[in-house]
């Protein structure tokens, strides 16, 4: 028996992994970056095989990681977490720099950054694990790093289906007594008109509009209006 809820007890951070291939920058959001050894300094990260960033790292043999701060915005997370590097330049308008190997890394809304040379890859089924030797590391800001729990509980962020920690429950509404209690708590005063908004079912972004305009796209993940659901505001 595997109780999926047990995995929710594991602690994660939130990171931006980036690389470059054929003069094009790639990047995505992950929660699986971790230190493996201290001497020598080695780390690992697991990326879905379907991610464009994964193939780019396989080609280049290098990647960088920016550790997001707790104050990082959903705008930044949305661009790197829910859009494809093959469709948009994720670094456009974002403060970034290049490491010694020419790999871009995000400098804004980040507390630290690392640059790695891939020394081993491990096929773990749906994902590729990249074990890297740290060649550069730098503290960028004296702030608290963002945890995955903060991203979910405070920012109300969603887990992409390609994430290592994704389970079907991540996109399902709350059920049972907890859902009933929440609904009861949020009932408007008797006689008061209900207010509605629209929430993206992919990244969780909310638009406080009565109706979404024709041709509307989510400013975070680029999804169309058909991917929004009406909610009570």
CATH of the domain at 203: 2.20.28
Answer yes or no: are the C-beta atoms of 91 and 104 closer than 8 Å. yes
Counting the structural domains of the chain, the total is 2
Answer yes or no: are the C-beta atoms of 67 and 134 closer than 8 Å. no
CATH of the domain at 54: 2.30.110.10
Helix and strand totals (H; E) in the chain: 4, 12
Domain that holds residue 196: 192-233
The answer to the question of residue 149 being in a domain is yes
Residues 17 and 128 grouped into a single domain: yes
| pLDDT top residue among 104 and 164 | 104
Predicted confidence at residue 164, as pLDDT, reads 55
Looking at every residue in the chain, the average pLDDT score rounds to 84
Question: Binning pLDDT at 50, 70 and 90, where does residue 72 land?
Answer: very high
The answer to the question of residue 142 being in a domain is yes
Residues 16 and 102 grouped into a single domain: yes
Q: How far is CA 106 from CA 64, 68, 85, 113, 144, in A?
A: 9, 9, 15, 8, 17
For Cα atoms 95, 97, 99, give the angle at the middle one, nearest 5 degrees: 155
Strands 42-48 and 127-139: antiparallel
Number of residues that this document lists for the chain: 233
Residues 199 and 149 grouped into a single domain: no
Residues 133 and 49 grouped into a single domain: yes
């Amino acid at each position: 028996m595997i109780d999926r809820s047990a995995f929710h007890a594991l602690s994660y951070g939130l990171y931006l992994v980036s690389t470059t291939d054929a003069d094009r920058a790639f990047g995505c959001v992950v929660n699986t970056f971790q230190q493996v050894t201290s001497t020598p300094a080695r780390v690992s990260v697991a990326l879905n095989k379907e991610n464009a960033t994964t193939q780019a790292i396989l080609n280049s043999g290098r990647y960088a990681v920016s550790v997001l701060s707790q104050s990082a915005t959903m705008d930044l997370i949305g661009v790197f977490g829910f859009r494809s590097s093959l469709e948009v330049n994720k670094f456009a308008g974002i403060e970034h720099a290049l490491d010694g190997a020419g790999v871009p890394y995000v400098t804004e809304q980040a507390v630290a950054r690392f640059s790695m040379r891939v020394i081993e890859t491990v096929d773990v089924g749906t994902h590729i694990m990249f074990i890297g030797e740290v060649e550069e590391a730098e503290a960028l800001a004296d702030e608290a790093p963002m945890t995955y729990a903060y991203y979910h509980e405070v920012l109300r962020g969603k887990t992409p289906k390609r994430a290592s920690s994704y389970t079907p429950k991540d996109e399902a509404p709350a059920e049972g007594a907890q859902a009933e209690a929440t609904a009861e708590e949020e009932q408007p005063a008797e006689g008061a008109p209900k207010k509605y908004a629209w929430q993206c079912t992919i990244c969780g972004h909310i638009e406080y509009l009565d109706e979404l305009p024709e041709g509307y796209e989510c400013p975070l993940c680029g999804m169309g209006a058909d991917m929004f659901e009406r909610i009570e505001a």
